Amino acid sequence: MEPLRPDQQRAAALTLAEAFANDPLLEILAPDPARRVKLGPPMMGILLAYGLRYGRVWANDDASAVAIWLHPESGPMKMPRMLRAGMWRAPFILGVQGLGRMSKAMSATEGFHKQVEGPHWYLMTVGTRTARQGQGLGSKLVEMGTSRADAAGVPCYLETGTDANIAFYRKRGFEIIGQADCYGHTFTGMIRQPR
């Protein structure tokens, strides 16, 4: 796994869009599956732009597995930074209704992240293309952040919306710190203490 190269950014956005095509968060943003397919790549492109600017984005050689981590020096995700990374395009991508749904979903988990005191690594997202799943690529990308957090003696934090992901992260030392319902989905905040 290596830092994402600029020429891999489009492939990485497509990877994350495919990996999250049926994820509760994208389902909330676009309940219609056809619309979700269209908005996935540009929305994931915004997350990638944020990660490249303020955090760490790692991928395998063909960007079929990608992780966006924010490290302790990244600082909080403030609106000016999000706008610089391209979030200003969100109303045009999502529409007014989708933007409202995104705001409600983000608010649902905000309290969990605030429970993490002090410096920490934040796993914004990790995803693998369907054809490459089950090969350990996601585990390696998660370890890229957790190993650095362990070396620094700080925790890691993430949010997820599926039971399968909760099980995946539990195997890697994450524990649930809170859950919230939003539009019929349950979002979970998880923390991993340093080892």
Q: What is the mean pLDDT of each run of 10 residues along the chain (195 residues)?
A: 92 93 80 81 88 94 95 79 72 71 74 85 93 93 96 95 92 94 86 94
What DSSP string runs through 132-185? GTTSSHHHHHHHHHHHHHHHHT--EEEEE--HHHHHHHHTTT-EEEEEEEETTE
Nearest partner of 165 among 121, 194, 133, 118, judged by Cα: 133
The dihedrals phi and psi of 77, each to the nearest 5 degrees, come to -80, 95
pLDDT at residue 180, rounded to an integer = 87
pLDDT at residue 30, rounded to an integer = 76
